[in-house]
Amino acid sequence: MKAGIVSYGAYVPRYRIKPEEIGKVWGEDGAARGKGLGISSKSIPSPDEDVITIAVEAARSALLRAGIDAQDIGAIYTGSESHPYAVKPTSSVVAEAILAAPDMTAADYEFACKAGTAALQNVFGLVETGWIKYGMAIGADTSQGAPGDPLEYSASAGGAAFIAGKEKIIAKINGMYSYTTDTPDFWRREGQAYPSHGGRFTGEPAYFKHVLTAARHLMELDGTEAKDYDYVVLHQPNGKFPRRAAKKLGFTDEQLNPGLLTPRIGNTYSGAVPLGLSAVFDIAKPGDRILVTSFGSGAGSDAFDISITDEMERFNRSAGPIVEDMIADAIYVDYATYVKYRKKIRRKGDAI
């Protein structure tokens, strides 16, 4: 029997900052910057939130909705590019927090913004081969944007978790396809606080080439066209790229909008596609078909062709918070609060 998604959970921090507020500090027209990026606000983790807490929130929601015993989870993989520790896994902390440890395996993934979907592919594999009963894949980030860098307008925080299994599948996988090249569009070296990026090079040769190739090839493999899908969820580094990519693939705004969250919460990196897919799961009905394509700089895309099953009718969606409610529950802060929350203010005793 094939593996599918049996549950999901999402988490978006409450705090937000608007581009106008960021632009004010850097002497830039923040409103114009925001408009250019298609972003009206971005989420900020509070001082006591990090990738681990975001992952745990999402994982707990997924567990509650599934109503399964955490001890039956045989693997937890968390994809992120802002794991709190360089050495010491996020996933083992998550496993303890949700009471899934110790009779299981865990590891952290990194592939820029697509580590979450890479984790998802791997738990499908372990479940399908029978090595584990359930596997959890998480994509979460508290992404870094250097002060004054264009990334500061978009880099945000959030994440989502998926449980893969063979019973009570709410979303089955019709097909998967990945496309990977060595394309250095965005990177952060060991020990560096902020990433570097190739400016416009992150567009055509990176995002568009990989997202469009992966999505097109999967549709070719599955013999589908854009109109066969009810929703499309694409990686969303800003509000503009996914809209252009969706249009090129033949999708309409109606198919794209429910899973396009970046305009309101910014780019949640490894959390972006998982959160977009969660927002679609929040409203999807049995029979709905979803095309999902992530993108990770460096570079690669994972594409999934997903169908919602009848099990969704019986699924306990209300056991976890829905994405739109979390987005609506926003507290806007000023830049000073933002830099304090992001720990960019050096205080007494802090390392220099």
Partner 1 sequence: MRDVYVIGVGITRFGELWERSFRDIGIEAGIKAINDSGIAGDDIDALYIGNMSAGAFINQEHIGALIVDYVGFASSSHIPAVRVEAAGASGAIAFKEAYLSIASGMHDIAVVGGAEKMTDIGDEMANAIQGMVIDQEWETVFGATYASLQAMMARAHMEKYGTTREQLGMVSVINHRHGALNPDAQFQREIKLQTVLNSGYVAEPLRVFDMAPLSDGAASLVLASGDVAKKYTDNPVKVKGIGQASDTISLHDRREICTMDATVHAAKRAYERAGAKPADIDVAEVYDSSTIAEIIAIEDLGFFDKGQGGKAVEDERIALTGEIPVNTSGGLKARGHPVGATGVAQIVEIVKQLRGEADKRQVKDARLGLAHAVGGSGATAVVSILEGSQ
Residues annotated as part of the active site: 81, 113, 235
Question: In whole angstroms, how close is the CB of 156 to partner 1 at the nearest point?
Answer: 23
Question: In whole angstroms, how close is the CB of 149 to partner 1 at the nearest point?
Answer: 11
Question: In whole angstroms, how close is the CB of 159 to partner 1 at the nearest point?
Answer: 29
Nearer to partner 1, 87 or 193 (CB): 193
138, containing H or E segment: strand 134-142
Site track 191-220 with partner 1 (rule: CB under 8 A), x = hit: -----x-xxxx--xx---------------
Subset of residues 12 to 71 that bind partner 1, contact rule: CB under 8 A: 28-29, 32
Q: By three-state DSSP, how is residue 158 classified? A: strand
Q: In what order do the strands lie in the sheet with 331-332?
A: 42-44, 15-17, 331-332
Q: What is the DSSP letter of 156?
A: -
Token code pair at residue 274? 């998982």
Question: In whole angstroms, how close is the CB of 204 to partner 1 at the nearest point?
Answer: 8
Nearer to partner 1, 88 or 200 (CB): 200
Nearer to partner 1, 32 or 99 (CB): 32
- Nearest CA to 95 among 79, 110, 111, 78? 78
User: How many residues contact partner 1, by CB under 8 A?
Assistant: 10
From the CA atom positions of the chain, what is the Rg in Å?
Answer: 19
Subset of residues 219 to 278 that bind partner 1, contact rule: CB under 8 A: none
In angstroms, the Cα distances linking 92 to 77, 103, 157, 348 are 9, 11, 21, 32
Nearer to partner 1, 147 or 198 (CB): 198
Site track 149-188 with partner 1 (rule: CB under 8 A), x = hit: ----------------------------------------
Question: In whole angstroms, how close is the CB of 262 to partner 1 at the nearest point?
Answer: 22
CA distance 274 to 296: 13
DSSP string covering 287-321? T-EEEEE--BTTTEEEEEEEEE-GGGGTS-GGGS-
Nearer to partner 1, 147 or 205 (CB): 205
Q: Residues 144, 194: contact at Cβ < 8 Å? A: yes
Interface residues toward partner 1, by CB under 8 A: 28-29, 32, 196, 198-201, 204-205
